[in-house]
Chains A and B, each alone.
Chain A
C-alpha cells in the first residue's frame, strides 16, 4: 500500500462530560430498562428467547452441520477432488475417490466422511468446493451418544441435505455474490466435468 492511500483517523476528543462517565451510564441503563420493560409488560420486541421451546431463525449463512448436495438426478454432486479436505484446517474430512459409475462424470466419492467433533465449522470446505457440493447448514444442535455417531458418512451427509431441503432452510450458495457456475443446471449442453469453467 502506498503512503498516499493511507488516511489517518483520530480518536474523538475525551471531553469533561465523557470523563465523568455518568451520561454513558444513563444511556446504557435506558437500553437495559427498555428491554426489561418489554419483557415484563409487552409481548413484542422480547430479546430473551425461550430455548428450546422457541427455536431461533438463524441467518442462511450460519455455519452449522455440513450437508452433501445432490444433483438434479439425486446423485451425490461431489466429484471427489479433495479440495475441501485439502483446505480443511482441522483435517476432519476423509475422502476415498473412485471412478464414477455414471458416464457424465469421471470421479465420485466412494467414501466421504466428516468427523463433526473435529470440525471447527469455519466453512473453508464450502469455499473450496468447485462444484458447490458441500455446504454448511443452519442445523446447530448436534448431539450424539458416542464419538462414532458423530462421524458422518456420505449417506448421513446426504440425509442432512434431504432434511434441510424439506425444512426449507437452504444455505446461501454464493461466490462473489453469485451462485457458482457448477451449481447451475446443465442447460448449455456441456456435461459433467467438462462444464467447469473459470
Chain B
C-alpha cells in the first residue's frame, strides 16, 4: 500500500515494485524516456526522463530534491512526489533533447522511422523548435551490413543502448556493443560477428529513432500510410501477439504486440519475415472443379452445390466413406464448422489431423554464456504451426481420439477425402511423396490450400484458402492460450475465407461472424467453455488452468 503523487495527483500503486516512469503511467502522465524499456535493465543513460522528485513528510509538507532525477532509475515509494511539468523539469527535458539533437542529421523525410519516431514526438512535445548548434555535425558512415536484415544509420543514433542491452540480456548473443567515446560513440558489431541471431530484428522495434532499420521494410512504405490490425503470428505454436501493418491489401510488416500472456514484448525473425507468401501472386485465386466433360468450372455458385451433392452421394453409399483432414493452420472456428458440416452429411465420417510441421528443437533465449543457464525469456518453438492444440481439441470432441492423416490413410482408404490444408509458406511443400501417394489412392479428393501443388493437380475440387492475415478466428497456442485473429486484408476477389466456405457448405446464411461461432463452440465443447460470449480480450484467454 503506497501512494505516489504525480503532478499533485495521488495514485495508489499498491505493493507493486514500480519505477517513477511506470508509476506516472498509472496516473496517466507520460514521462518521456528513450533508454528505459520494461524488458531491459535500467541504465538511465539518455537523461530524457529527468523530473523533479520530492517527498511528502508526515506533517504534510513537501520537500523537493534540489536537482532533477532520472525517473526510470528511481523506485516509487510511499509519499514520493513527482513534478513533470514544472519549469525545472521542462527545461531539463528541453536541454536533454537539444543535446541529443546536436549530431542528429534531421533527415526525417528519408528516414523510415518518421511518423513513429520518439525523437520526433518528444521534440514536438518537449523540445525546442530551433537548434543553437553552429558547428558541423558528425557524419559517421552508415553500416549497411550490421546483420543480414539490419541496417545501421549511424548518424541517427542517440546512444540509448537499448539494442546493445537486448542482445546481451534477451537474445544472449551479445553481438552489439558501443565503440568510441563521447560524441563519437557508435553502435557496432565485432568483425566477422554480424547481428544475425533469430531475434535480431527486435532491435529495430526497440530503436526509438531511425538508426536501426529492417532491410525487409526499408523504403517500402511510409508508416503513416499503414493500417494496423491486432493479430497472431502463425509461424509457430508460441503464438506471438502481433501488429499486422497493411495498406491496400498488402501486408508490409509484422511487429510484436506486447502480451504478457503469450510471448512478452518480442517476436522472432522467422515469424516476422515469414509473411511474404501472403502477398504472393502464385496463390490459388479461384475455386476449381474438374468436370467430366473437361469444362473449366470455377464459380462458387456451381461448385458448392456440386461438392455437397457428391459428398451426400458418397455418404449414402458408404456412411463411413468420408474423411476430413484438418490442418493445424485452421482456426478453431474453421475446424469446428468443417467438422459440423461433414458430421451433418454423415455422422460416421472420420476427422483426422493434418501433418504437424516440426523443425529441430525448441530454441530458447537468452543463449547461455558461461556455465550458468539463464532464465528463459523467449522461446521459438519447433512446432511450426499456430493451432495444433485447438484443432486437436475439436477432433477429440467429435472423434474421441486424434489420429494423424498419414496413420489413418496407411490403414484405410476412404472414398472421399476433404483436405483442409492452408499450410503457410510457398517454397516448402507440407506433404512428402509417401503422403501424396496415400492421398492419390483416394477416389474423390477435395483440396483447400494456398498454393497449387501436385496434390491440387490430383484433386477433383480445388478450393482456395485464405491466409492468416485475411481470416477472423481463434488460435490456441502451445500453452492453451486462445488468441483472436482479425482480418487485415481482403482476400482476392474469387477467394472466400475457409470459414465462409464451410458456412456456405452448411447452408447457413450470411457472413462468418467469428464471435458467434466461438460462442457456439464454447457451448458445445467444454474445453473452450471460457470463450463463452465470443468476446476475447486482446491479451487472449487461457483455456487451461496454468500452474
Contacts and interface: CB of A to CB of B under 8 A. Distances in A.
Interface string B511-531: 000000000000000000000
Contact of A131 (B105, B109, B136, B142): B109
B106 A189 contact: no
Contacts of B220: 97
Given A86-B224, A99-B219, A193 B131 contact: no
A25 B137 CA distance: 67
B544 to A, nearest CB: 47
B130 A194 contact: no
A97 B219 contact: yes
Interface residues on B, range: 20 to 34
Nearest to B123: A198
Contacts of A197: 106, 131
B106 A190 contact: no
Contacts, number: 53
A81 interface: yes
A79 interface: yes
A172 to B, nearest CB: 22
A186 to B, nearest CB: 13
Contact of B109 (A189, A191, A194, A196): A196
A interface majority secondary structure: loop
Given A131-B109, A194-B155, A82 B222 contact: yes
Nearest to A188: B136
B110 A194 contact: no
B136 A107 contact: no
B129 interface: yes
Contacts of B139: 190-191, 194
Nearest to B104: A194
30 contacts: A79-B110, A80-B110, A81-B110, A81-B222, A82-B222, A86-B222, A86-B225, A97-B220, A98-B219, A99-B219, A105-B110, A106-B110, A106-B142, A106-B153, A107-B219, A130-B109, A189-B136, A190-B137, A190-B139, A191-B139, A193-B105, A193-B107, A193-B110, A194-B107, A194-B137, A194-B155, A196-B106, A196-B109, A197-B106, A198-B130
Given A82-B222, A189-B136, A194-B139, 12 more contacts: A79-B109, A80-B110, A81-B109, A82-B225, A86-B224, A97-B220, A106-B110, A106-B142, A193-B109, A196-B105, A196-B108, A198-B129
